[in-house]
Chain A
Amino acid sequence: MRTLTFKDALNEALHQEMERDGSVFILGEDVAKMGGDFGVTMGILSRFGPLRAKDTPLSEQAIVGLANGAAFCGLRPVVEIMFADFITECYDQLVNNSAKAHYMYSGQLKCPIVVRTATGAGFRAAYHHSQSIEAWLLNVPGLTIVAPSTPRDAKGLLIASIRDDNPVVFLEHKMLYGATGEVPAEPYAIPIGVADVKRQGTDVTVVASMKLVHHALQVAEQLARAEEISCEVIDLRTLMPVDMPTILESVAKTGRVVLVNEAPRTGSHNAELAAEIAEAAWGQLKAPIQRVNALDCPIGFAPVFEDYIVPRPEDIAKAVRAAVDY
């Protein structure tokens, strides 16, 4: 099968969905003429015209608010918020309007918007271009959070997100845009809320998302080779709702869990997952649940700071050993 980059897989998903459904349009800062800060929306303007590819002023509230209103009228806006850190600028819209519009008017309105945004550290871009924001959104019923790790998943999940009738925040880890992988040429949807076991194993369940799935897989190979530890690696793919059955099935087999997430430790997605697993699988656990997170600090600028603060493969390996050696 042909290979595509993560970025081009997303681009293909947008083209195919816009071809299929005339109500889909893109909206955001520099998405039309320039094709997006990371090139994800390249070619949409020339293919679909200015009504369906809208460059906006630097107005994130207006961008998401406009998307909400257009969605109420039956359109399917795909918004780009250039960096996930800027989600604070439209946080009110996401939390108080997108997430609640269907509920508070008792189903009269639907809000099928997709908010794509570049998340995560690694670009040496410090405080306002590097954060992992999923926990900021996790406590908001009504939102869906999608977070792919491979080009194939990126395409299938973006298509599913566009077709979904709920507001979806679609996280794109900026270190993955150049990653390559096999991607089917035809349009396909990967169901939201379904995790993927990226590697089978028997000793430890490692649960990760986005870039850290690749770290987890790398660590799993190393540990299998050098220390005869067998890791099962689960790629969450959707952070809300979480596919608990897949996780619990794995935990029933391994009895050990390492949760890996790039956001600061306190109040992170891992904390919620740990609580869910502890409640549902207490009797099956052979070791305390291990959490691998960023430190509870901002993403410092100097590369030594950033590398120290966010989870490294060795941090995952250490947590796996702690679970096994308990």
Chain B
Amino acid sequence: MAVDKTTLLDFYRKMVLIRRFEETVEEYSKKGHVPGFIHLGVGQEAAQAGAMAAFQKGDFVLPDHRSHGVCLLVGTPTREVLAEIFGKETGVCRGKGGSMHIADFARGNVGNNAIQGSTMVTALGLAYAAQFKQTKAVTFNFIGDGTVGRGEFHESLNLAGVWKLPIVYVLVNNQYAISTRAVDAHPLEKLSQMGCAYDIPGVTVDGNDVEAVAAVVTEAAERARRGEGASLVELVTYRWQGHFSGDPASYRPEEEVKAWKEKDPIKRVREQLLAKGWATAEDIKGLDARVEAEIADAVTFAIESPVPKVEEATHHVYVGREVAGK
């Protein structure tokens, strides 16, 4: 599917935003602004931006373990996502979620979850609710290759298959679950073939080709909206950094990392834009500068925002019932 100028420019802007966001999170993590672990998606921007092109208002998305980008793409203000990662009161979950638990339910982001596979069983319920209420909502469930080993993966595909649930499984195969290569953990090289066992069509595409990603995910989403059930879309890509910020990732050959960095999905789109004459070098600079301004605003906002009031620690344990504080 060839995309038009506006769409490609939009992909470019979103991918740069994700990359700069992730780099900023890492920078400020090193400076001590980010509590806990962070898992970055640098290198995986095309998979995120391409897949989310199919996301419509009223749909649900469950981001995976390195999906700050997906959290941005539902439309949550960049500053609120960053403030959340900083553990601030102005964060989208008021500092209760952090990097690994970012939801914006009003915009359809039902939250990432630090237990791999957990979102897959949640997705069943979001999709079942769509069947129950007879809406056209599609649930986009981002997962990583490591999640293929989880029981939740198989229980979910089985149930989604038999009930024909409107789910698009967006399997972002970055080829490593921390240090374990996907090929050493799973018997099939093409993980999309796992769908076969559950009568769920599977397709594998280059996850660094934003247009290809958008095309297959859109097709899968349309299929779900037509009531024809779930699809498993595998996007083959690569994370440039370690599993968490600070992981030197010495388990990966240097040549491999280098080769994948050459397949930079952003560079690819930039070159396309220039080659097609859809943007000049000046236009690109302008787009980059706008992203920079958005990031700078988010950083200032996140740093200057207050930490949550400690009394909130005991709120929201139960609906309608308080638990004792100190």
Chain A positions within 8 Å of B, measured between CB atoms, are 25, 51, 56-57, 59, 61-62, 64-75, 77, 92-93, 96-97, 101-110, 112, 141-142, 144, 164-166, 193, 241
Contacts and interface: CB of A to CB of B under 8 A. Distances in A.
Given A67-B125, A105-B96, A106-B97, A61 B317 contact: no
B159 A57 contact: yes
Contacts of B96: 103-106
A47 B126 CA distance: 25
B32 interface: no
B128 interface: yes
Nearest to B94: A106
B105 A72 contact: yes
Nearest to B156: A62
B233 to A, nearest CB: 20
B319 interface: yes
B319 A61 contact: no
A156 B123 CA distance: 32
B318 A142 contact: yes
Nearest to A23: B132
B263 interface: no
Contacts of A141: 317, 323
Contacts of B178: none
Contacts of B295: none
B124 A66 contact: yes
Interface residues of B, number: 44
A91 to B, nearest CB: 11
Interface in B191-213: none
Interface stretch (B107-115, B214-222, B266-274): B107-115
B159 A110 contact: no
B320 to A, nearest CB: 6
A79 B146 CA distance: 29
B93 interface: yes
Given A57-B159, A97-B122, A166 B318 contact: yes
Given A106-B93, A108-B103, A166-B321, A57 B123 contact: no
Interface string B150-166: 01100110110010000
B315 interface: yes
Contacts of B105: 72, 105, 108-109
Contacts of A92: 115, 118
A69 B121 CA distance: 8
Contacts of B97: 104-106
A73 B155 contact: no
A201 B251 CA distance: 69
A270 B152 CA distance: 34
B101 interface: yes
A271 B302 CA distance: 45
Nearest to A51: B132
B15 interface: no
B113 A72 contact: no
A69 B110 contact: yes
B318 A102 contact: yes
Interface in B45-100: 93-97
A105 B122 contact: no
A21 to B, nearest CB: 13
